[in-house]
Structure 1
Amino acid sequence: MTIEAVIFDIGNVLIEWQPERYYDRVIGEDRRRAMFAEVDLHGMNDLVDQGHHFTDTIYRWADKYPDWREEIRMWHDNWIELAAPEIPHSARLLRALRTKKLPVFALTNFGVQNFDYATTVYPFLNEFDRQYVSGRMKAVKPHTPIYEMVEADCGIDPAALLFADDRIENLETAKARGWQTHHFIGPEGWADRLVSEGLLTKEEAV
């Protein structure tokens, strides 16, 4: 079926998301490993993605672990350093698709407040035709409801959606619903897929 809209994940597709790398740089790998072994920081972030308040959630988590309070608060206070850098080629692909007047959506596990902050740092996040942000929707990938909500809102046949994500489990749910999918492991492969689908020329996908 002809693709009628392209859907981008954000973390590790448009913006690198490697919190461990940030902590390795700031506190050293040994301390980072010790902290992550003791504190479920990704579980904390999952709550933010589900719609819990960014500041309140992280600061409460920090208070639960006084030995790591300062380091946990970095997840909030220095958050934009964790969500960096952008992946420029992916941003160019987003803009190239929009130049061709093809609808481009975001479907991302992201909190409300930190997504709003990210849009002030990464202007391309404001350029989607539709933003499907888990924290706003109170539903997260890879669970089915968020995909159902996307379908209901955009009104496009699932088979006409092409979705790029770096996580296989997120793609499996989409595929089960009939979406076309692309496992993102780098912008070059994503560019090749968009060209192969006839959505961009090779020159447009550079």
Structure 2
Amino acid sequence: MKNLSRSLLVLATPFVLLFAGTASADFTVTYTRPNTDFGSYNQFLISPLDMSDMKIVPPAWVTDSKPHKWQLSEKDVEYIRSLYQEYIANGIHSGKKYNVVSEQAPNTLEVDVEIIRLTPWAKKGDKSAKTKGSGEMKFEVVFRDALSGDLLAIGEGLQNVGENYQENVPINHEHNLKEHFFTWGQSLSDALAKQKK
């Protein structure tokens, strides 16, 4: 999913935007701490994916004779969170430059992502639907120094999840999420590597 909005433009405005760099992304850096040297970081701490205040918004073209609130089950939420943790870490490791740690440590960049809104392109269980990808995700990403907790940068983006036309079945959505989160991890690794040059 492309390069988490041109990889959050190249760390903090460079790093943060470089992380965000995806082909189908709209991304805005809302805060960067002045004089932050992202090149001093050499590993990542990935916070659990925050979906606690996430809204599920049906796409505008969906009409239903029996309107109801679209929602994810707690099981679905936990599954998405586990995919996120696994695949963002896999993406970071794929560049063979950086590690993901499980505890606060010096020279560690903490990444905290919150999904604000999820818009599936089709209703769950509608097997007659074919969509381009799974839907759209609005998110916020916060970067902190893992040891001190100092806020380094904040950005917000809107991205499509998946890019191929496909049937509306769970295996396709799972594949799209895995690819999306993996690409975020790759983008983080690439963005940090660019700060070292």
Common fold, TM-score beyond 0.5?
Answer: no
Structure with more relative contact order (C-alpha pairs < 8 Å, separation 6 or more): 2
Structure with the largest fraction of strand: 2
